[in-house]
Chain A
Amino acid sequence: MAEKTVLGMDLYWLNFYGLMILTLIEVLAVGANLDPVAESLGTEEKVITLWILTIIAIPKFIMIAAIFMHLYGDEDSGILTMTALFPAFFILIMVLFVGLTHPDAASSLPDWCRPGTYGL
């Protein structure tokens, strides 16, 4: 499994460079002044950075999990991905029930996602 090569370069080197570049983008996104972009989209800079960070974090997550942790393409990776994903359901419950239910969480989240109060 360690001898696979993709696009001529060795898979691990490629993955390594990919991750480095993505992290660099993240740092740049935060450092750079994004006000002009924010005006164009009508929200302030913080929300933009949040979206950029999440968009970049997801591929990094997948790249590490799939390639470095052999969750893809090996003969035993099928079932191991299942085990890795098994707690996803429980994590989702924890995040929904505990993370987002602060009584006076006046947040911009759409109402369907954040449980409201009965005008109590």
Chain B
Amino acid sequence: MGVAIFLFSLAATFEWGEFQGWGNIPLIFVGLGVVSFSLLVWWRQDMSFGMHGEIFEPKSTGAPFQNIDIRKVAMWMFLMSEMMVFTALFSTYMRYRLGIPNCKTVFHSGEWVEGTAVTCFEPAGHLIASSWFHIAPGAINTFALIVSSFTIVQALRYAKKKDIDEDVRRRKVTRYLGTTWFLAIVFLTLKMVEWFLGFPLPEFLHEFNHGDSTIKSLYAEGYLINADNYQHHAFDTEYIEKHPEDYSIPEDSALYAMMQDGSHQGGKMFANIQVSATTFYVTTGTHGAHVLGGIVGLTYMTLKAARGGYTPDNAVSIEYFGLYWHFVDLVWVLVFPFFYLY
């Protein structure tokens, strides 16, 4: 027991310790390796708890939390501090979104000249919500998370059901935990697809996507942390003339008037959108990290379930993980509309 903790704490610090700047990537992987090794050591004992039925679930004695499991209270305390982390990220996003003028308004106000970058806030939504296919990865992710919330609850239900025999319960719980694990993996891969890879479109959908065959990822669109002269064809007057059906400059905007009387010769607007990209990537990245944490937990629980570890009286650990998982889903319910769609 002592050794496990010692390794665990050293590993955690080693992993943190290796967290140094300028990407000495191999060291970080060594650190992560040690962490996973120590997690295994810790779990191996945990497994032993569950195996020979000894229950390690002290109930709370003090009011007001009469007879609620101690670790459930601890989990809720942990969620409270996680709420604060995401509030801090949301406040940063809100502050910058309200503070820095929106790129579209700057474009329509005409206060830009081709060639010099304008600092403005380009919400990811402007890109993602522009066409159905861009929204697809985000939408599927949301469905994936909701389904995974649902399956984790089912897993808990079967684990707690008294009246079914041992083997049926083992199969059912493992299946449900397995689906949750799989959906979490799907979530992360789709996020990677959306960020970096982009995906090819099947033949018959081409004409919906004004002709080009693939959906470009955010990376390809140039929506990057260090994008300080970012162009988007919605901010390009020639492009707008050629594709009136896609974009139009509203008649009442100053740019329209300046274009009419020739005082503004149009062209491409360069935008420095580093801040908007940073807030987007860091917030969704932190959320992704929490999902990753969930996956690590899930792998252990699925393995344990596969070996029939969950009996009605020690099923509470699924419930605690369920709380964490629903919290992660809850955060996504807030992140998805405000970061992706708006």
Contacts and interface: CB of A to CB of B under 8 A. Distances in A.
B337 A98 contact: no
B157 A19 contact: no
Interface of A: 2, 12-13, 15-16, 19-20, 23, 26-27, 29-31, 46, 49-50, 53-54, 56-57, 60-61, 64-65, 68-70, 76, 79-80, 83-84, 86-87, 90-91, 94-95, 98-107, 109
A23 B149 CA distance: 14
Interface string B311-342: 00000000100110011011001101110011
Given A26-B337, A98-B91, A102-B99, A12 B150 contact: yes
A102 to B, nearest CB: 3
Q: For the complex, would chain A's binding face be called helix, strand, loop or mixed by DSSP majority?
A: helix
A101 B84 contact: no
B120 interface: no
B334 A50 contact: no
A23 B146 contact: yes
A69 B135 CA distance: 28
Interface stretch (B74-82, B177-185, B232-240, B284-292): B74-82
Interface residues of B, number: 55
B88 interface: yes
A2 B157 contact: yes
17 contacts: A2-B156, A12-B150, A23-B336, A26-B341, A53-B341, A61-B334, A65-B330, A79-B64, A80-B68, A80-B76, A83-B80, A87-B84, A90-B84, A91-B83, A100-B94, A102-B99, A106-B101
B20 to A, nearest CB: 29
Given A100-B94, A103-B99, A61 B73 contact: no
A68 B147 CA distance: 12
A30 B129 contact: yes
B29 interface: no
Contacts, number: 136
B139 interface: yes
A22 B338 CA distance: 15
Contact of B330 (A15, A56, A64, A80): A64
Given A31-B132, A50-B342, A53-B337, A87 B146 contact: no
Given A2-B157, A49-B341, A23 B95 contact: no
Interface of B: 64-65, 67-68, 72-73, 76-77, 79-80, 83-84, 87-88, 90-92, 94-96, 98-101, 125, 129, 132, 135, 139, 142-143, 146-147, 149-150, 153-154, 156-157, 160-161, 319, 322-323, 326-327, 329-330, 333-334, 336-338, 341-342
A91 B101 contact: no
Contacts of B129: 30-31, 49
B337 A94 contact: no
A13 B150 CA distance: 8
Contacts of B342: 46, 49-50, 53
A87 B81 CA distance: 8
A64 B149 contact: yes
A61 B154 contact: no
Nearest to B76: A83
Given A16-B150, A104-B99, A53 B338 contact: yes
Given A23-B139, A102-B99, A57 B90 contact: no
Contact of A31 (B95, B96, B135): B135
B59 to A, nearest CB: 11
Given A76-B72, A94-B84, 7 more contacts: A20-B146, A64-B329, A68-B329, A76-B65, A83-B80, A84-B76, A105-B95
A30 B341 CA distance: 6
A91 B84 contact: yes
Chain A CB count within 10 A is highest, among B84, B146, B161, for B146
A48 B69 CA distance: 45
Contacts of B337: 26, 53-54, 56-57
A106 to B, nearest CB: 7
Contacts of B146: 16, 19-20, 23
A52 to B, nearest CB: 9
Given A68-B149, A100-B94, A105-B98, A60 B333 contact: yes
